Amino acid sequence: MVPTEGKIYYLHNFFETLYSNVIDLESSNFKHINTNFENVPVEARKGTKREVNSEWPKNYYKAIRMALKEYDVVLVQLKPDHFDYFDKNNIKYSIAIL
């Protein structure tokens, strides 16, 4: 798993040259209630006022655990709280700095 902040296009393409299964788990799909934003591209949603999902960050961690079973590389949000969760749950990760 590789935490990322921006540069997703580059990283996704880089990892796809090494691995056949790569997914970017965009955190805003889990952090916010996206009602009325379903047809708005993720990048266009950024900066809009949306309600925080009461299941955050548990729903994100669940999605990460599920993705790790299916994908070679899982790109996730770069936040210290997430690293604490990964460490406590023995989830191996690498940090990509561009």
> pLDDT tens for residues 3-21?
545 556 666 667 767 777 8
Average pLDDT, the chain: 85
More confident position, 7 or 24: 24
CA–chain centroid gap for 11, Å, is 13
Instruction: Return the pLDDT at 53.
Output: 97
Q: Helix H segments across the chain? A: 8-18, 28-31, 42-45, 58-70, 80-88
> Taking a C-beta distance cutoff of 8 angstroms, is the pair 22, 75 a contact?
yes
Q: Tell me the pTM.
A: 0.78
